Structure 1
């Protein structure tokens, strides 16, 4: 096996120009993916996480070879999250709190490198990179198995993978595992992608298999009880889970069963909020889980760590009424919600 990892050593990341997304690419990133993981005592759950695995037709496969120590020799592997920090402040403290993974595997001309991972108690974020002998699409998609967390009863997630130079790509993957009980203090992670898309008609198959453990970030839980009801939908905000890197907003929402006769899929989420000092935060939705066919859901959303001087945060929940499968949708805003910060 011959790999040009020396090319990574000479890569000048300071002079890499970010690529602008086309309208079509932005739409793909915003695409909502419905996914169900089948395990013992399977619950129904949904959604709202960007681009996940896509099914396609394969080519020749070769056996992967692992080089766990190679990542430490590649300076580029040490700052993947900082590339995305230019576009999303959520990741500005990622490297400070991440667990170093440092695993590299090569198969069929593609080296996949897992750099770091963070588990905040709700979602798991992983930084990774690709080097390919074959030019892939500017935003390659995975085919096959996405990330799995041992002990979870359901899972949803997606990834962002972007080209930064010839045949080199950086990515962040995010998943939300659901557990029957409280989240464990340490999660055991498996990731076994089976192929990457060259274009819509061609993929490169391979054999990559990563296994690692990530400890949960220490934090504190603030219980809250704020409720808003509009358009036969009730949203109840129950807790703020705070750690040094992020803040997770836990909430539930219920839908009038009569409303589901007209709109079989109803979702509540919010994209931006601000604190009482005027600081704005981008929101990352963590999906939602329903055990009663869409009448009630448990959900959460993550923002960067709230400024220490903040006394409250305010946002506007948005209801998405959908007929499903692109058949039609309506969007309505709920009343603003203000949550106290202690």
Structure 2
């Protein structure tokens, strides 16, 4: 079984150094989750199709970093045996098949854990391993739609707005999968036993909606788009268009940040209505929009840069890549996160 190294190579350092992960090639949340595990130091071996086909190769090039690769035909008995031998010496297996597919291929959790009882068998789906929709195809947008998350995103009076695939595939999917794998590994350290991790995008996104559900229960959230505190409805937590067509993001939630916003805009707080009353939000929005429309984006960005107003320019991808903050940290684009450093002995 010949193993090749992907572009970028395998790092072999970090908190998960020494951990071996077998990734059964998929799209979306599976490669992202395995990229995170590789960035944390794990050795990730991706099992790809023997015919050389790689779905969405250009889309996933960045997600492919830090891997070893092996090509196997999982419909061939000899290649399945090769995979199972690889699993025997591994800590984690990650798959993103529809429910039942891994079992039909002879590589389901019962088979793999029967051979390697310490294995963490991680499964990534949109709908979960069971339930009425378990075998139904879907994508990020569909999972968001059924959780209630998509309904909450968008401008007042307009249709829902798709938040790229960040919320479902990567937030509610991949990162919950990684959390499940790490939790299972922690449990294995004391019990010696592996387990199956059932990560579903609908479950992860549902968990992420906890604060919104709490606000709704407290009567602080309406089931309308663009009229609430954190959905762009509040005039002090939204985006504005500038004279040059650029945009600014305003996040002046706290009182002192709001005061800094008014100061920067040259507005007298005493002349403005109470911002805590949503009935006053349309008036405040017009006032702020008129002020921001008098200057270009970069003018306002420079003016607010050293203040507590929480005002930042809305950058394009190219602009973000060259922003001084990202350059100073080496954090853009798509750099590994989080970062680690060892505490110095005796430091209090």
> Is the shorter-chain TM-score for this pair beyond 0.5, marking a shared fold?
no
Per the normalisation by structure 2, the TM-score is 0.20
Higher RCO (C-alpha 8 Å, min separation 6): 1
Task: State which structure, 1 or 2, has the greater radius of gyration over its C-alpha atoms.
Answer: 2
Per the normalisation by structure 1, the TM-score is 0.20
